[in-house]
Amino acid sequence: MKFSSNHQLSVNQLFSLVSIIIIIISYSIDMAPVPAKFIFFPIIFFLLNSLSLSKAELQADYYDQTCPQLEKIIADTVLNASRHDPKVPARILRMFFHDCFIRGCDASILLDSTPTNKAEKDGPPNISVRSFYVIDDAKAKLEKACPHTVSCADIIAIAARDVVTMSGGPYWKVLKGRKDGKVSKASDTSNLPAPFFNVSQLIQSFAKRGLGVKDMVTLSGGHTLGFSHCSSFVARLRNFSSVHDIDPRMNTEFAVGLRKQCPKPNNNGDAGQFLDSTASVFDNDYFRQLLAGKGVFSSDQSLVDDSRTRWIVEAFARDQSLFFKEFATSMLKLGNARGSGDGEVRLKCRFKN
């Protein structure tokens, strides 16, 4: 029994449906005839409920029958792009975070602005995301291999896993079956966690996405591949407060180096700083840097100052394998953030069908 080409009743659901029917028929044989409404209403309710559940379920083998070459096509595309531009891994990982944090993982970050609507990708926090062409390239190849099958949202999720793995980080089986959203508004990007947030604000922001304190610290570790322009942290380097010129939480030598990277006035729009000392490698160096007072963002450094999060930072700084394990788990949780039920599989990721 199928509801659509991609949503099937599981064996357990089918068994439950058959059981309901058998019970009703048995009752009608042994007792008085059962009115039709008592037969059909439970079945209709069950079918509607099963449809809702099947829509919500993501599966690792979702495309095994419809597009078995999916993972190889995306991996080859991402690897080729990364060879030509070493900033691609950080940008793809950030793209996944910023997409899932707005309306769930629905590829709304990929939609272009129109004359009547400014889209997410043109919101202030997303101006520097870039590398959208990598997803476009993978989508074009997938449309040739298996037309109108793979959602752009799933491509982002798989590509994010791939950039982590190819950079030396963990591997996990990406759950698939997302649909692409039809709404994208630049104004919604104000809901993204800001680089000046304190721990309480970070916890609240992540909690809205169903993520706990450990998830928040773990996913912050994605900054191990990150780069930031000066505008996101320059306030920590000069005239920080009436008492301190530089943020006192910052390692002094590190702050002096950042000042040189971000002079005043700064005429270089590309100037900035990598977020840890091994920027092209996915590792736990980010957490060691925080403990040394070398967090670039105020929000990152705040993780060390709060007892709710410091112990997690210390644990990950000591044990990279623990960080890798938790990162894979938290990425799966973030990837479960769902968009609107009114989704589609776009033919081109930049435009609604």
Identify the burial level of 310 via C-beta atoms within 10 angstroms of its C-beta, where 0-12 means exposed, 13-18 middle and 19 or more buried.
middle
Q: Check whether 84 is labelled as a binding-site residue.
A: no
How many percent of the chain have pLDDT more than 70? Answer: 84
Among 159, 191, 223, residue at a domain's last position: 191
Q: Is the dihedral of CA 231, 206, 281, 177 positive or negative?
A: negative
Any alpha helices (H) in 85-172, and if so which ranges? 88-103, 132-145, 152-166
Q: Check whether 104 is labelled as a binding-site residue.
A: yes
Residues 254, 292 within the same domain: yes
Question: Which CATH number covers residue 168?
Answer: 1.10.520.10
Residues 6+ apart with CB under 8 A from 78: 88, 92, 134, 138, 159, 162, 163, 166
Among 132, 162, 191, residue at a domain's last position: 191
- Report the C-alpha gap between 182 and 6 in whole angstroms: 19
Residues 170, 214 within the same domain: no
Please give the span between the terminal C-alpha atoms of the chain, in angstroms, as a whole number.
Answer: 28
Residues 203, 284 within the same domain: yes
Residue pLDDT, tens place only, 3-45: 333 444 444 454 455 455 554 445 455 555 555 545 555 554 5
What pLDDT shows up at residue 267?
74
Token pair for residue 257?
Answer: 């180096």
Token pair for residue 333?
Answer: 């949780």
Q: Which of 184, 180, 158 is nearest to 171 (CA)?
A: 158
Structural domain boundaries enclosing 127 = 69-191
How many percent of the chain have pLDDT more than 90? Answer: 73
Residue 102 lies in a domain: yes
Active site residue 84: no
Q: Check whether 223 is labelled as a binding-site residue.
A: yes
Owner of token pair 């959203």: 181
Which CA distances in Å does 117 have to 108, 128, 185, 192? 13, 20, 7, 19
pLDDT(299) > 90? yes
Q: Check whether 165 is labelled as a binding-site residue.
A: no
pLDDT(247) > 80? yes
Q: Check whether 106 is labelled as a binding-site residue.
A: yes
Token pair for residue 318?
Answer: 């000591």
Q: Check whether 224 is labelled as a binding-site residue.
A: yes
| pTM (two decimals) | 0.83
Residues 139, 207 within the same domain: no
| Peptide bond before residue 124 is cis, with ω within 30 degrees of 0 | no
- Report the C-alpha gap between 79 and 160 in whole angstroms: 12
Q: Which of 302, 93, 108, 103 is nearest to 195 (CA)?
A: 302
Domain count, the chain: 2
What pLDDT shows up at residue 266?
78
- Report the C-alpha gap between 2 and 51 in whole angstroms: 10
Q: Are 178 and 338 in contact (CB under 8 A)?
A: yes
Residues 278, 205 within the same domain: yes
CA gyration radius, the chain: 24
Owner of token pair 């058959």: 18
Residue 151 lies in a domain: yes
More confident residue, 303 or 229: 303
Residue pLDDT, tens place only, 58-85: 999 999 999 999 999 999 999 999 999 9
Query: What single-letter DSSP state applies at residue 297?
Result: S
What pLDDT shows up at residue 7?
42
Any alpha helices (H) in 57-131, and if so which ranges? 70-84, 88-103
Active-site entry in 7, 84, 98, 229: 98
Q: Check whether 278 is labelled as a binding-site residue.
A: yes
Q: Are 283 and 179 in contact (CB under 8 A)?
A: no
Query: What single-letter DSSP state applies at residue 60?
Result: T
